[in-house]
Structure 1
């Protein structure tokens, strides 16, 4: 009499999995639609946002060249800045839909080529900083939350709150003053020396240049992961299943690793995906302080002109990365947490 029940249970599970997968797909499509709408708003807003900045790009580009008013008008015509604003907007939308971000006023090169040259340096700095910040933040958050009120908890929480409140550019300038100017342990700018060696020596030279900007980013980033992980773990410690696990005789480390931490990780996983896009944007100030040749420094250089096409391209890339990562975070959290799916 048990055989029919045993065969019925897998069939019931498969029948329940179908609607669940369909619900996840529907949820992902709705989030993708919202992301496309947000990207469209970013594209439209980007065009008008940077045209509110003071300054004439043509006059700024002509500094020191003794150009006549007629030559300035010709340059303005070449850049398309003599057209009515609405016509410029239509041209911008058309180019963007063709994945053509135009040419930079300052560098006289396609914006996509400039972004391609710089994106590797930004991904190296931002990716390394994110990995270190996530690893350090989660480890300290687990220890601090599980030993709530201990000396380690007070020290970790206090340090993270101080670093989180410090502006990134100020922390970068402080690191430059102490470790580059006073002690001269690390270089103050760039990604490599002019006479950098090849092979493994080149890797070491880049790593040497990356220490200070990486510390500046990690110091601000890891505090968020620590505090979220600590808070999530504190919520789990008082749950009934933790008390039950301890009553069964499990060791304290086993209760933490097998029961408390996996459930506490869910909000942190969402935060990790959400912060990936923001890390790329947050590299702007760090790269400007340390003259790191990435997208941040490129964006900062474009603002000084102002170089409309270059600003638009880099800003849209940063904004779109934030939107896509937030969308991915929502979908991943929906998949990982059954409570969200049931809601």
Structure 2
């Protein structure tokens, strides 16, 4: 004998369906909430770091020996009244605490002050020099990050082989070489010429200044970029290689790789689809730090090759010292690193859900 179904029985969902749905929704909300808490914490840390950069940039360069006003008027007969007028014009006659509060108030609104030596806004000078730095270091960072990831993966997967020992030895050697020394060496060999090796590349600068346009101008700039990019790549790829190699070696003993091989996956597929993605977290940090260097540039390399970027501008500012320009560049350099590290922290939970829980 069967029992007739009531409307309540018909409307009732299958047992467990509502509970499972609510559990799934709760898990999704919990994951989203954990990520938001993780992001909020990282954003707060970045804000504190930027505030610390502002404080450091002001007081750090105040201890540099030298009087900016006397340096600017060096070799020019200047009376005491004129020196006092210049100090008053640049605000150097104010108490230190008032200089600091004025600097912070302007910096938070994007006003980085007026350069002493160029008599121009610091922000405008940075914008003028930024494209040259982005071009040089951007190309170099892309090249040595890709090269380091590729060689680091191959070295770890074949650790102990001749290729691994050779790659690691070359990387450690180049990592220990000062970039300015390597740059000078490359200039001597490939710009000036040594013995049978002729001078193939310019000794410095970004262009020949011969008035070339279009594709000829692009080739001219690329010709000037070869040695500085080679210097940055030679010194920079080693760190990415060593970090990727170490991280992948830690993953190679994982049980999940043994399971993947037991399923019949080829060795290349195991490395590409399982091992490398799990080894990327430390390398992601390194790549984002390298991207931060794109804005910071390379002071030594740009100075050695007379590259008209932010690194050369920073060197010029230090020689005076041009305090507003030095402080503005320091804030830009440090701010770029903080922002890149923040982006890496926000990306971590997307690559590995265990992070941030």
Task: Give the match for residue 55 of structure 2.
Answer: 44
**Aligned partners of 1:270 and 1:332 also within 8 Å:** no
Structure 2's unaligned 5+ residue stretches are 1-12
1:24 is the counterpart of 2:35: yes
1:166·1:220 contact (CA, 8 Å) conserved in 2? yes
After superposition, residues 82-161 of structure 1 pair within 5 angstroms as 82-161=93-172
Query: What is the alpha-carbon distance in structure 2 between the residues aligned to residue 328 and residue 216 of structure 1?
Result: 27
CA contact (8 A) 1:145 1:231 kept: yes
2:92 to 77, 81, 96: 81
| Gapped regions of structure 1 (runs ≥ 5) | none
Offset, 1:81: 1.2
Aligned counterparts of 1:179 and 1:20: Cα–Cα separation in 2? 56
Residue 220 of structure 2 corresponds to residue 205 of structure 1? yes
2:300 corresponds to which of 280, 285, 292: 285
Instruction: Return the alpha-carbon distance in structure 1 between the equivalents of residues 73 and 320 of structure 2.
Output: 10
TM-superposition CA deviations, 1:195-253 (whole Å, max 9, x none): 14111111111111111111111112111111111112112221111112222222211
- Give the one of 309, 312, 320 matched to 2:327: 312
**CA distance in structure 2 between the partners assigned to 1:256 and 1:4 by the alignment:** 43
Aligned in 2, Cα 1:4/1:223: closer, same or farther, shift over 3 Å?
farther
Q: For residues 268-317 of structure 1, give each alpha carbon's deviation from its aligned partner in whole angstroms, at most 9, with x where no partner exists.
A: 11221133224543511111111111111111100001100000100110
Q: Which residue of 2 aligns with 1:227?
A: 242
Asked if 1:247 corresponds to 2:262, the answer is yes
Q: Is this contact kept in 1: 2:38–2:356, CA < 8 A?
A: no
Separation (CA, whole Å) in 1 of partners of 2:245 and 2:73: 55
TM-score (norm 2): 0.91
Q: Which runs of 4+ in 1 moved over 2 A?
A: 2-15, 278-282
Q: Does the C-alpha gap of structure 1 residues 151 and 5 become closer, same or farther in structure 2, counting only changes over 3 Å?
A: farther
Map of 1:325 onto structure 2: 340
Say which is worse superposed, 178-187 or 269-278, in terms of deviation.
Answer: 269-278
Match status 1:276 vs 2:287 = no
Q: CA RMSD in A?
A: 1.8
Which structure shows the higher helix fraction? 1
Shift of 1:3: 7.2
Maintained 8 Å contact 1:335/1:341: no
Which residue of structure 1 aligns with residue 207 of structure 2? 192
Q: Distance in 1 between matches of 2:215 and 2:25?
A: 53
SS in 1 for 2:74: coil
**Corresponding residue pairs, total:** 341
